[in-house]
């Protein structure tokens, strides 16, 4: 199993820098002691498998994980072959995170988004039928599923090495651990703004939330966690913003990371929101890596 450590980084806006700058950021985060770099994928980002390979080549030790690679972007055989190729080149340093993405993003690519649980199950079936056989023995690549709803979490428990919930809460982490059971990797993402000015920090947090408010998968999950339709209206209530994006100093952010760990997370991927995310992450590192 790839070594993630307790705390890694969800690159977010750093992954949209020119690659020379992203490469420098990756090395700085590795040197700071973070255990993993998580990368997303959409129609306006770098392709996930190529991106992972570039980051692995740009670093020496840190694990790279897709969070997530969309199953609508490449067929199951290609995903499996790509993951095995990366494992062959960088043993023990790659985690394949898979997800069904979101209806607007899938439909934009010309695909039909329906029955996501069944679609993911069929994709895993196809992946398990096999593909590329490397000329040397390669340790199987860990795979995790982007899982928020109970059904997808159960599928992650049955057919994957764990789950990577995105933009959720420690309460969801506890529910996810209960569903996954022991022995499965649980690696939630946690967004934060490290700032002294609470009002300014919340503005950045609300701008980040606005990217996800239209997505039904997230909205349904927040409602399951006890937020209300009022919380989701008009750009999101302060309660919703504060529940999803922790704003404050290093200790406040570390407390939220600790809450995820206490709720059953094995690893937390922190994502800096707002100005100068690399500086935020480097300033935060000594505190969260000491947990």
Note the pLDDT tens digit of each residue in 125-137: 999 998 888 888 8
In Å, how far from its chain's centre is CA 73?
17
Tokens of 134: 């490397």
- Paired sense of beta strands 7-10 and 268-272, if any: parallel
Higher-confidence residue of 106 and 12: namely 12
Q: Which residue has the higher pLDDT, 56 or 198?
A: 56
CB 170 within 8 A of CB 257: no
Task: Dump pLDDT digits (tens) for 253-268.
Answer: 999 999 999 999 999 9
The conformation of residue 37, written as its DSSP 8-state character, comes to E
Q: Residue 92 CA to chain centroid, in angstroms?
A: 18
From the number of C-beta atoms within 10 Å of its C-beta (0-12, 13-18, 19+), residue 278 rates as: buried
Structure confidence at residue 214 (pLDDT): 95
Q: What is the pTM of this model?
A: 0.96
Residue range 137-164: mean pLDDT, rounded: 97
pLDDT band at 157 (very low <50, low <70, confident <90, very high): very high
- pLDDT greater than 90 at residue 18: yes
Mean pLDDT to the nearest integer, 138-143: 94
Instruction: Give the N- to C-terminal CA distance of the chain in Å, as an integer.
Output: 22
Domain boundaries in the chain? 7-199+247-288
Say whether 96 sits in a helix, a strand or coil: strand
Reported as type and span, the H/E element at residue 207 is helix 198-210
Query: Whole-number mean pLDDT of the chain?
Result: 95
Instruction: Specify the range with the lowest mean pLDDT, choosing from 22-31, 36-45, 180-189, 236-245.
Output: 36-45
CA atoms within 13 A on the CB side of 107: 5
Q: What is the pLDDT of residues 176-193, one digit of tens each?
A: 999 999 999 999 999 999
Contacts of 260 (CB under 8 A, 6+ apart): 170, 173, 188, 190, 268
| Residue 232 DSSP code | H
Among residues 15, 154, 14, 161, which one has the least CA distance to residue 98?
161
Is residue 240 predicted with pLDDT exceeding 70? yes
Q: What mean pLDDT is predicted for residues 157-165?
A: 98
Residue identified by tokens 């695909």 is 111
Instruction: Judge contact between 281 and 272, C-beta under 8 A.
Output: yes
Q: How many CB atoms sit inside 10 A of residue 262's CB?
A: 11
Predicted pLDDT at 103: 66
Backbone angles phi, psi at 36, to 5 degrees: -155, 155
Per-residue tokens: 200: 């300014």
* Residue 42: predicted pLDDT: 87
Could you tell me the pLDDT band of residue 106, with boundaries at 50, 70 and 90?
Answer: low
Label residue 112 by pLDDT band (50, 70, 90): confident
- For residue 98, the cross-strand partners are 69, 145
CA distance 106 to 114: 10
Domain 7-199+247-288 has CATH 3.20.20.30: yes
pLDDT above 70 for 1: no
Q: Which two tokens stand for residue 51?
A: 């991106």
């Amino acid at each position: 199993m790839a070594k993630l450590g307790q705390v890694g980084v969800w690159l977010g806006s750093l992954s949209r820098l020119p690659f020379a700058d992203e490469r420098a950021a990756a090395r700085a985060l590795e040197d700071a002691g973070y255990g993993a770099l998580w990368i997303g994928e959409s129609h306006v980002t770098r392709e996930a498998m190529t991106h992972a390979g570039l980051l692995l080549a740009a670093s020496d030790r840190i694990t790279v994980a897709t969070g997530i690679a969309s199953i609508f972007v490449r067929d199951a055989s290609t995903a499996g072959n790509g993951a095995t190729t990366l494992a062959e080149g960088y043993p023990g340093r790659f985690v394949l995170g898979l997800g069904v993405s979101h209806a607007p993003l899938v439909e934009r690519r010309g695909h039909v988004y329906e029955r996501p649980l069944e679609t993911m199950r069929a994709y895993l079936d196809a992946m398990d039928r096999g593909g590329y056989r490397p000329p040397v023995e390669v340790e199987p690549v860990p795979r995790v599923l982007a899982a928020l709803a109970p059904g997808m979490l159960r599928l992650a428990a049955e057919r994957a090495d764990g789950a990577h919930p995105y933009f959720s809460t420690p309460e969801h982490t506890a529910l996810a651990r209960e569903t996954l059971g022991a022995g499965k990797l649980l690696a939630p993402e946690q967004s934060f703004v490290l700032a002294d000015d609470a009002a300014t920090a919340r503005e950045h947090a609300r701008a980040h939330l606005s990217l996800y408010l239209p997505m039904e998968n997230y909205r349904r999950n927040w409602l399951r966690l006890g937020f209300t339709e009022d919380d989701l209206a008009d750009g999101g209530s302060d309660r919703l913003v504060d529940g999803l994006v922790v704003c404050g100093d290093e200790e406040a952010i570390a407390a939220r990371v600790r809450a995820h760990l206490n709720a059953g997370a094995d690893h937390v991927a922190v994502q800096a929101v707002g100005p100068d995310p690399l500086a935020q992450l480097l300033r935060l590192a000594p505190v969260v890596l000491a947990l």
